[in-house]
Structure 1
């Protein structure tokens, strides 16, 4: 059994024109998602989000607009991933963040963790992700993009 904390972040990385970054899991080819990851030690959720973005994409989140969307999803951990958690842990609390970029940027994937990435219009990204909470977070982009002030 593992020692992973059942507290994680989901970071939707998106552009002002409504494109979202998706990355493909190496341990489950065909499983596309936004950046995700568990909290380590006593780091804050913001620190977790910044670290996971850096680890999974090579991007420095402090250079862009990273916002806590104040959404927490509680869900059952997929059985094939429960071995990563302490014995008896079956549920996770996922905290949703958004990272706004000015335009799609190239990313550097974490070797062994992800196979590929793509920038898609958010509507297409909703249909591609395997996680229902990830799809719901992507759907929220429509209202978030509508409130972005014009520059």
Structure 2
């Protein structure tokens, strides 16, 4: 019996205090730059654990749960046709939960070569422009308000888009 991906994932925007954002390039899709993403391994896997695991697997950065910031933001989007075969027949949408992780400038990145071929740190606006995923780009554009909510007066809120 085939093992299908669970259509619930995390997006983790990794950034420095200066708001330089880490982007990684997909190995199978050169030119597709993104933040850390990944699906839950099991239906009962807590999202924070999914985020911690994906950061470790994709970047080699070991992170504790209390260092991740859960934005309480979910995006629902159509799964790209190219990747639908990874999901059960008829599954067309994914729910993505957004997190961020602040790391010191100079943090070592060790890519998983089967998943990613390159990485770069870019100022947040440039990083948003480089992302192939609209929800990833939008999350990066929200970064200044999300990491300093006391300055912007913003509070965490849940949003769902399609």
- TM-score bracket, normalised by the shorter chain, equals over 0.9
After superposing the two structures, state which structure 1 stretch, 59-68 or 90-99, moved more.
Answer: 59-68
> In structure 1, the residue corresponding to 2:10 is in which secondary structure?
strand
Question: Which structure has more strand as a fraction of its residues?
Answer: 1
> In structure 2, the residue corresponding to 1:24 is in which secondary structure?
strand
Contact 2:48 2:65 in 1 (8 A): no
Contact 2:33 2:130 in 1 (8 A): yes
Measure, in 2, the Cα distance between the counterparts of 1:57 and 1:36: 11
Of 130, 141, 144 in structure 1, the residue corresponding to residue 143 of structure 2 is 141
Of 46, 49, 63 in structure 2, the residue corresponding to residue 47 of structure 1 is 49
Measure, in 1, the Cα distance between the counterparts of 2:120 and 2:29: 16
Using structure 1 for the length normalisation, give the TM-score. Answer: 0.93
> In structure 1, the residue corresponding to 2:64 is in which secondary structure?
helix
Using structure 2 for the length normalisation, give the TM-score. Answer: 0.87
Q: 1:148 to 1:120 in 2, by over 3 A?
A: farther
Structure 1 residue ranges (4+ consecutive) displaced by more than 3 angstroms after TM superposition = 145-149
Measure, in 2, the Cα distance between the counterparts of 1:75 and 1:49: 19
> In structure 2, the residue corresponding to 1:74 is in which secondary structure?
strand
| Matching residue of 1:128 | 130
Could you tell me how far 1:147 is from its partner in structure 2? 4.2
Contact 2:14 2:22 in 1 (8 A): yes
| Matching residue of 2:156 | none
Measure, in 1, the Cα distance between the counterparts of 2:149 and 2:93: 33
The two structures, once aligned, show a CA RMSD in angstroms of 1.7
